[in-house]
Homo-oligomer: A and B are copies of this chain.
């Protein structure tokens, strides 16, 4: 459905939470080393604790988040939010993203022979991925700002949504 799973949505919320905390939402002090515990994140995001734990585990296994075990341990972003893209986030939670099955593993598709689209979806997928590469976690943590992505569709006349109305 061109729809990401709830877990990915939650996961993004968690990442944004971590980004905001590191920025110093707590004491107004910027501290990239600030560790958030799972329960910390759960209450901050209002998600169920077990779910948060599960997702943080996944994140910790990725290169996006680092973890410290033991008492006073917790999670923190491993990199600067500006260097973490939406595409990477999707990769972590949903595996290498591909819009169709055939585009997953280098076009290994049983239907490829008779497929009239000639890998059209693959190309669309690549384009979308390119767009997703533009969005960073830092962008996600700054709701008021518009995304560069809307520029992309601005060059068309066939489009439906408003091209950034007077809002900034």
A-side residues, CB < 8 A to B, are 1-6, 9, 12-13, 16-17, 20, 44-47, 85-86, 90, 94-95, 97-102, 111, 113-121, 123-124, 126-135, 139-141, 143-144, 146-147, 149-150, 152-153, 156, 158-161
Contact = CB atoms under 8 A, between A and B. Distances in A.
A125 to B, nearest CB: 8
Number of copies of this chain that the complex holds = 2
Given A127-B153, A152-B127, A153-B127, A120 B99 contact: no
Nearest to A162: B126
A2 B44 CA distance: 27
A59 to B, nearest CB: 15
Contacts of A85: 158
A97 B95 CA distance: 21
A143 to B, nearest CB: 3
A40 to B, nearest CB: 13
Contact of A130 (B12, B126, B141, B156): B156
B153 A121 contact: no
A4 B100 contact: yes
